[in-house]
Chains A and B, each alone.
Chain A
Amino acid sequence: MKRILVAGVLVGIILLTQYFTTNVSPTAEATFIAGLILLGGHIAGHLLSRIGLPRITGYLGLGILLGPQSLAVIDPETATRLGFLKELAVAFIALAAGAELRLQQLRERIGTILSLTLSMAGFVSVSVFSFFFLVGSHFLPASTHMGEMEKAAVAVLLGILAVARSPSSALAVIRECRARGQFPETVLGVTVALDVLSIVLFALGLSVCQALVSSTVDLRFALTVGAELIGGVAMGLLLGAALAFYIGKVPGHLPLLLLGTALVVTHVAHGIADYVRDTHELPLHLEPLLICVTAGFTVRNLSAGGDRFAEAIHSVSLPVFVLFFCLAGASLDLQSLRTTWAAALLYVVVRGASLFGSCWFAARHDEDGAWYGISFLTQAGVSLGLALEVVRRFPDWGAVFATIAVAAISINQLIGPVAMKLALQSAHTSQTRS
């Protein structure tokens, strides 16, 4: 009841501001929206957690409510401006995800992690590709205007996209449930591994698609992605070493340093991409997520300050999560669901079923084998980035793929955290305290 009173006060402040605003400055508006998101997200998260749903669903829901397609408190311009904050949050969350991966525990679980990763990567991508290639192609919007090869290309990319995960969502739900034990550690390890693997597969997939639609083989893109991966890991190791050195020498202000690091990594990665594109016409894009996961992993596992690093990240992670997921909710393209709901729904169902099947098979000797499948539904950042890359590379039919992808990712983003929370609370080797 008291929280609803606070929500009423917040609505009053919104109305007052909209009526009397005299200084329509981007600075003021962005500050106001950020505050509204944090307070509103806190309330929405708590209200949903009272009925057993994860708080992240509340953050996403609030984002959808405030976003351009609902109340438009966050208009498209503000959403774009705050997109910078979202990128910063992705890098920070990646640092946090890296810090969660502990080498000792990973070693103990390496067999399960590898079998789950390879089984899912293989089975899920083949299942989704087969379905859309053999059965589902006429569900694609504008399928009548597409040639057979183009439909095959869309099916290939949908298959590969199905492998991508959302480490940020996984980490947020694990943190919220305060989950400990083999199950959450395995889930996070597999999630990060699959996200990296999806980038490699996507690069290869794009080259295959190029060959399918234009009968030419362009291996340059695949080579570029190889350079991206090696460059990203190398930069991450260097950054991790620098952070570890700093943490060992200087006490205090670590959360601020880490937020600053996330900012600089994002900037430097984008800057290098711009520079290489302008000077060498190469689509080299160092993934901030990969750099930061590697850096976080390096500091946590290969330095003496690993625990301090993890503590510092933990101390400021909740505000970052609330901001990130509300903004993610605001940027979900629910309009695309109207035109592609059938294809998107089929994608979600086939992907979910194949995820469940592959996990059950790979972890059939594990006492929690039945719960792995529903822990990997969520998709977000990297998946969206990959979808946009397809539009850029294949302007003729890329939009068809991107529309389905965005719609399906929106559905997965909404149901994924709920399913994952259920899995964390039900698995035998997971201890939760929420």
Chain B
Amino acid sequence: MKTSTSSPRVWTVAETPVAELEHVCFSYDGERVLDEVSLRIARGDFLGIIGPNGAGKTTLLRIVLGLLRPSCGHVRLFGTDVAQFRDWQRVAYIPQKAVAFEARFPASVFEVVMSGRVRLAGLGRRFAAPDYEAARRALETVGMLPFRDRLIGQLSSGQQQRVLIARALVSHPDLLVLDEPTVGVDADAQEQFYSLLHRLNREMGTTLVLVSHDIGVISQEVTQLACLNRTLVFHGSPEEAMRSGALAEMYRAQSWMVAHRH
């Protein structure tokens, strides 16, 4: 369990950032997808990353999660270089729903949530009472406890998304990374989803990194905004983004954001 969230947090300049990127670049087949991206994510931040298709948003997430090795630069998680980082239970990832699993996968909601607890329970060990309790609580947090025995594929997209959040929460992560989590989720469920994120961030102190194309919602919810287009175009609070004209610039330049606003 985390102790940091129960006591009032003291902010110091020296506090180790949750994640730190220094001059990170990445190339696919010789083509630069990310160029010189430097970014600091402090504890308790809710960072929204926006940018057009092909801006390198997902690549950036995958680098932070250690799934891709940057071509140059450094990435540190909780002060440790990502290549040496072993404390992965502090990090959880919510992928785009569509790529997460097959619709016909024969898993119950409870089994899916428990799968987020595998590393924490220990390799080759059986789940114990605290694991089941954590899964029950995580399902309660996202309001899906009554569905625990349902087949995951039979739920609506919004419900599946909540189950994937529960799977991420079950290890009590300090950093939660979300990649376009509301794609294919209806408006009502989206609203519930964002209020859940709000609670996780403000009440439980979880640091959130969210990639989204939905600039309207994102700029209302997040505390920090990063505009990415191969390089980091802007990083700061949403208000600053508004003032500096970075948001307006992105709106004007890209029809992709308008297309997604209904």
Whether A associates with B in a native complex is no
